[in-house]
Amino acid sequence: MMKNWFKSGTPWVWLNAAAISICLIMVIGLVGLIAVRGMVHFWPVDIYQFQYQDGKGEKTIVGEWVDTVILTAAQAKEAGYPILNNADHLEQRLIKTGNRDLTGMDFRWIDAQYIKNEQTPEDLIKIERREWGNFYGRLKAVKENGKIIAEGDAAYPEVLPRIDHARYLYEQIEHLQKKEIGAINYALERLRLKQRRLELEGALDEQAKQEIAREKAEYQQSYQKFRSQIAKLNQAIMRDSLVAETGNGQTVEIPLKKVVNLTRPNAMSIGQKTAEYLRQFYAFVTEDPREANTEGGIFPAIFGTILMVMLMAVLVTPFGVIAAVYMREYASQGFITRVIRIAVNNLAGVPSIVYGVFGLGFFVYFLGGNIDELFYPEAAPAPVFGTPGLLWASLTLALLTLPVVIVSTEEGLSRIPKSVREGSLALGATKLETLWRIVLPMSSPAMMTGLILAVARAAGEVAPLMLVGVVKLAPTLPLDGNYPFLHLERKFMHLGFHIYDVGFQSPNVEAARPLVYATSLLLIMVIIGLNLFAINVRNSLRERYKALEN
């Protein structure tokens, strides 16, 4: 019976089916894992208050309950944790306690067996700060110029508008410092380079010198103006502060300048939590990172990724299409073309890091070095294009995705029925006209598919970018209001690299982990979206050609 069953091969078919099921489970599980972990990051979770008594005495621990791990007794023993009452397992909870300025750490593991009781009192507050991470505790009082103006329950409603005001002032200061003073610094640097250039050319006469000195003085003057404005704002922003108490009764005073946001998650309704969730998400995609990228938003990374990918698309499309058109329409379909086709196909399989190495050696050091020598002698010894940057990253990725575009376009060209071409030629159109008016428009969805796939690939690629232009923290965006607006030589931030850097290079991996999940989710959504779109375009295209052929 059993033997016959095995002989029929049915179990093998089932096992084969299991293989594809496992693959599906893995994909869906992985995307689900990232989706869940990425999405909960913004949800305002309850703040717990644990009465905790271990061998060292009793204390109150306040914080967010992040994770739970259950160890078997033996594993606990290996790790050196004592187990009470001969329990067969040990539950450990990871609590985000914040208050890094006071305790030196953001997280702590606690043993569930020592917890006397746990509560979620409504008056617990969470303060997101510009430095030292979150604060958890209770709000005690609000101060203005050092004098208490509200205490106890009255403090919470009093502090919120003041935080908004302080944030408004802070944004003004930021704007002045980054935009206005940044522009002045940029202009001064350009002046310096201009002077150096004239000097090298031997054209630095008295008149030019005076001109430069005059301009410099002008800039200095407006710089002074902004500085005094900033000083005034700084004074205004230092007016208010709040007094808060940690779980253990330690009182701290926090100037509102340092406060990004203050919430009482335990007192929030579902609706309020949703609003807070959306606000947090919005802040995540629009704000700059804080605290070595482990907190705040990822706007520069999103911006850098999009800009780089767009540049790459502009570079790769014409070349990819021309190469495909050449191979399919112009080259004679002989041995050479076959070899070329194999080579192009192979390039898609060449490791991306090899492209990175090529980009660094050829584009950055060779091309960039020569460009610097020819066009930017005044900047020496500081490199302009002779260092990794946006242009080189885009070029490298264009080269990397070239095979994708070529292969996809070629496929599109090959699917166009011969009859269509012949009809056009028979009506007296030249080859170019046939190509331009008939073939290319018909195959444009195929090119589109190729381009979308290329963009999706480029958006997720990190290894080559690490060599040719991505940095963990770029001081300025590659696109800004200073002439020539698009700064191709600048380094930029990238979502994929951000994930790598924050997840693996940051000093506070535990604190940054939710942020990495959120970034991953964003990246994955973009890439899956692009791919699904490309697949759809391709499928509808195939249907259309089938109809044409019949």
Torsion sign across C-alpha atoms 351, 353, 357, 362: positive
Work out how close the CB of 20 gets to another protein at its nearest, in angstroms, rounded to a whole number: 4
CB of 313 to another protein, least distance (A): 16
CB atoms within 10 A of CB 349: 7
DSSP secondary structure letter of residue 150:
E
Q: Which is nearer to another protein, 160 or 322 (CB)?
A: 322
Q: Which is nearer to another protein, 77 or 225 (CB)?
A: 77
Residue 213 or 331: the one with the smaller Cβ distance to another protein is 331
Q: How far is the CB of 485 from another protein (least distance, A)?
A: 28
Cβ proximity to another protein, 43 vs 330, nearer residue: 330
Cβ-based neighbours of 312, under 8 Å, separated by 6 or more: 394, 395, 397, 398, 401, 454, 455, 458
The whole-angstrom separation of Cα 148 and Cα 238 is 15
Q: State the amino acid at position 364 in one-letter form.
A: V
Nearest partner of 412 among 446, 437, 451, 449, judged by Cα? 446
User: What's the closest the beta carbon of residue 534 comes to another protein, in angstroms?
Assistant: 9
Q: How far is the CB of 302 from another protein (least distance, A)?
A: 15
The order of strands in the sheet holding 89-96 is: 107-111, 89-96, 57-72, 47-54, 115-119
- Contact predicate 101/134, CB 8 Å: no
* Most distant pair of Cα atoms in the chain: their distance: 106
**Pair 536, 549: CB distance under 8 Å:** no
**Which residue in 247, 297, 267 sits closest to 41, CA to CA?**
297
Q: Which is nearer to another protein, 28 or 84 (CB)?
A: 28
Cβ count near 71 (within 10 Å): 17
Nearer of residues 116 and 338 to another protein, judged by Cβ: 338
Provide the minimum distance between the beta carbon of 428 and another protein in the complex, in angstroms, as a whole number: 10
Q: What angle is formed at CA 251 by the lines to CA 250 and CA 254, rounded to 5 degrees?
A: 135
Residue 17 class from Cβ within 10 Å (0-12 exposed, 13-18 middle, 19+ buried)? exposed
Taking the least distance from each CB to another protein, the nearer of 18 and 486 is 18
Minimum separation from the CB atom of position 13 to another protein (A): 6
For residue 80, the minimal CB distance to another protein (Å) is 12
